[in-house]
Chains A and B, each alone.
Chain A
Amino acid sequence: MKKNIFSKRYLKETFIEGGLLMAALFSVFITISIVIILAYESYGFFKAVPLKDFLTGTQWTPLFAEPRFGILPLVAGTLLTTLIALIVALPLGMLVAVYLSEYAPHKLREIIKPVLELLAAVPTVVYGYFALSFLTPILQKFLPDLSGFNALSPGIIMGIMIIPYVSSVSEDAMIAVPMHIREGSYAMGATKLQTAFKVVIPSAFSGIAAAFIIGISRAIGETMVVSIAAGGMPNLTINPLEAVQTLTAYIVQVSLGDVPHGTVEYKTIFAAGMTLFLMTLGFNLLGFWLRKRIREVY
């Protein structure tokens, strides 16, 4: 009965465990590769363009004869469309989550959840088409100043697109609030509404915050909707009626063209990608930490 670590069985078990570990570690290699490639190409970029010009310049015209490399217009475009999306997604997502977790009958919830999740499954290029060819013309009827390409229409569509990300994580957090906490509130004579807003939402705060962060991260990284419907002009503005270009849309614009490998213009997309990666990384880590905290509370 002695354990023999050289027996066929032990070798096989060890070998399999090693293989599975490799698969799990592969995800770490992906992150490392992302960082290395972004850093390597960005390094080449920053040898040609001073970091100060990149961070503070107000013009982004890398493909012009006299190129300017100020990232601010792209960051502003990204933040503007993200903000519009959040103005739509956060309140709606919250209302949906409260309604589904506290009010909706079980049957209705079982039907609505998968259908809502379809919103996140629709290919983003389809949303882009919809923003450009359906929503923008409608909005132009109310807002005559709205240009054909603008930040508003893709922002709204993005907002609706990310509702399921916001609502499903918030709802999970609210459902995880134990029943006896709600009963404590009902026993005092509170209505569902009061219980939801005064007891359930505060108890599920970390989860709801995590949901918001996932939503923000999605909106920042969204590409096709803004590429199609927001336009292709870097524009340092806070006016949602004008055309803007986001970090992601810029990368698409360059990728579609014939920029030769190794040039500064080619490297700009990695500098833009690095900016994007760092912005989302911060939000992702914050979201992970918050979700981990919920799991520890209950």
Chain B
Amino acid sequence: MQNTDIRKRIKAIRRWNGIFRIVGLLSTFVGLVLLFALMADLFTDGFPRLSYKFFASFPSRFPEEAGILSAWVGSCLVLLVTACAAIPLGVAAGVYLEEYARKNWLTDLIEINIANLAGVPSIVYGLLALGLFVYFFRFGESVLTGGLTLALLILPMVIMATREAIRAIPNSIREASYAVGATKWQTVKWHIIPYSTGGILTGIIIGLSRAIGETAPIITVGALTFIAFLPEPPISSDFPFISFKWLLDPFTVMPIQMFNWVSRPQKGFQLNAAAAGIVLMGMTLLMNGIAIYIRYKFRKKIKW
């Protein structure tokens, strides 16, 4: 090949390289632009509806009167149940798989199973919950059912986050602990869990932020879309001061309230839907922000 030919060829490849650099950057921004458009759309439609009254009112037949009180209270209570169920179970399973499990068929089975569960559509969890919690255990269409359903849904995420955080701990730390005579549980309790807390917390919060936005499985278990009362308060003035009756109360959650409004034709309800969307996005972004902050904070604190 002639020298000039080579130069020509190099020039052409260079050009393609440069073009791709721009195409790549643009593709990366497609998603971001959409995210921005989505927020802008929500804000222009819904922002005027955001007021104290919107947060403090029950749903109503009149769009201007309607609010999200029962929805955000419901979301908080459901999330509480989800956290209480998914965190201990998920962390324990993650610790088992990383620190205790031997390499055998049972471990393989559990691993394949978790990978599959992570990919099961959320609505299938809803069907499971409908059969299991609503009709088999007879929890009814309650806060408890909703919370447990979402707990099953985010369990694989919590397990995987726990495992990943634990895997980052170097083996030398484990050996140092065993070398002075610590048992497995002492090593887990004093080293493994404390040093992986950052990663685990990040995973839990991201899981919970996903749970708060989930709609489909909650619809399947029969959460109501029109609830004009609050569940029983968990704290009462009479003995024994703590009540668990709210667990069995019917409920609604933020995304369901939004879905309900979206599916109504009147313009007023569409605006309410956008306003509920802003609140929902706010909750999700806040939780994701906290997760990113925690990850950053812990990464700075512990460097192996």
Direct contact between A and B judged by beta carbons closer than 8 A: yes
Q: Please, which residue of chain B has its CB at the minimum distance from the CB of A15?
A: B185
B132 engages A37 (CB within 8 Å): yes
* A20 adjacent to chain B (CB < 8 Å): yes
CB contact under 8 A between A126 and B42, given known A26-B89, A26-B93? yes
Assuming the contacts A21-B96, A28-B110, A160-B31, asked whether A95 and B23 have C-beta atoms less than 8 A apart, the reply is yes
Chain A residues, CB < 8 A from B23: 95
Q: Check if B25 sits within 8 Å of A163, measured CB to CB.
A: no
Asked if A160 meets B92 with Cβ closer than 8 Å, knowing A124-B213, A193-B17, A251-B123, the reply is: no
Q: Which of A49-57, A65-73, A111-119, A176-184 contacts B (4 or more CB under 8 A)?
A: A111-119
CA of A251 to CA of B130 in the docked complex: distance in angstroms? 12
In the complex, A276 has a CB within 8 A of chain B: yes
B216: nearest chain-A partner, CB-CB = A223
| Interface flags, A94-119, vs B, CB<8A=1, else 0 | 01101110011000000010111111
A23 partner, pick from B96, B122, B270, beta carbons under 8 A: B96
Complex CA gap A13/B88 in Å reads 18
B123 near A28 (CB under 8 angstroms)? Answer: no
Please name the residue on chain A nearest to B101 by beta carbon.
A24
Task: Tell yes or no: A239 within 8 A of B by CB.
Answer: no
In the complex with contacts A20-B95, A277-B120, A121-B27 CB distance below 8 A: no
Q: Is the CB of B117 within 8 A of A30?
A: yes
Q: Which residue of B lies closest to A130 (CB)?
A: B38
Q: Taking the complex as formed, is A273 at the interface, i.e. its CB lies under 8 A from any CB of chain B?
A: yes
Interface positions, chain B 89-126, Cβ under 8 Å from A, are 89-90, 92-93, 95-97, 100-101, 109-110, 112-126
Q: In the bound complex, how far is the Cα of B33 from the Cα of A163, in angstroms?
A: 13
Which of B45, B90, B92, B213 meets A125, CB within 8 Å?
B213
Q: Does A140 contact B (CB under 8 A)?
A: no
The answer to whether A228 and B263 touch across the interface, beta carbons within 8 angstroms, is yes
Query: B residues 103-157 with Cβ under 8 Å of A?
Result: 109-110, 112-128, 130-132, 135, 152, 155-156
Q: How far is the CA of A251 from the CA of B156 in the complex (A)?
A: 23
Q: How many Å from the CB of B177 to the closest CB on chain A?
A: 14
Q: Is B280 a contact partner of A125 (Cβ separation < 8 A)? A: yes
- Docked complex Cα distance between A196 and B155 (Å): 36
Say whether A265 faces chain B, with CB atoms less than 8 Å apart: no
Contact yes or no, A99 B38, CB < 8 A: no
Of B32, B120, B209, B258, the residue contacting A221 (CB under 8 A) is: B120
Q: A284 and B116: CB pair below 8 A?
A: yes
Cα–Cα, bound, A198→B255 (Å): 45
Q: Are A98 and B24 in contact (CB under 8 A)?
A: yes
A46 within 8 A of B: no
> Number of B interface residues, CB 8 Å?
88
CB-defined contacts of B41 to chain A, threshold 8 Å: 130, 133-134
A164 and B31 within 8 A (CB): yes
A87 contact set on B, CB distance < 8 A: none
Q: Are A223 and B116 in contact, with the CB atoms below 8 A?
A: no
A19 within 8 A of B: yes
Q: How far is the CA of A114 from the CA of B285 in the complex (A)?
A: 11
Partner of A123, one of B13, B35, B219, B255: B255
Chain B residues within 8 Å of A221, by CB: 119-124
Cα A124 to Cα B41 in complex, Å, equals 15
Contact A255 B126 (CB under 8 A): yes
Contact B119 A123 (CB under 8 A): no
B60 — which chain A residues lie within 8 A by C-beta? none
Interfacial chain A residues near B109, Cβ < 8 Å: 28
Of the residues B21, B42, B118, B273, contact of A103 by C-beta under 8 Å: B21
Q: A28-B110, A255-B219 are in contact. Are A121 and B262 (CB under 8 A)?
A: no
Question: Contact partner of A128 among B113, B117, B225, B259, CB < 8 A?
Answer: B259
- Residues of A within 8 Å of B122, CB to CB, are 221, 223
Q: Would you call A81 an interface residue if the criterion is a C-beta within 8 Å of the partner chain's C-beta atoms?
A: no
Residues in B neighbouring A37, C-beta threshold 8 A: 127-128, 131-132
CB-CB under 8 A for A280 and B121, given A37-B131, A133-B41 = yes
Say yes or no for A287: interface residue by CB 8 A criterion: yes
Q: Does A33 contact B (CB under 8 A)?
A: yes
Bound complex: CA of A192 vs CA of B13, how far in Å?
10
B116, A191: Cβ atoms closer than 8 Å: no
**In the complex, A116→B212 CA distance in Å?**
19
**B183, B206, B259: which contacts A121 (Cβ < 8 A)?**
B206
A276 touches B117 (CB 8 A): no
Interface residue? B79 (CB, 8 A): no
With A27-B114, A95-B24, A99-B25 in contact, do A255 and B220 touch (Cβ < 8 Å)? yes
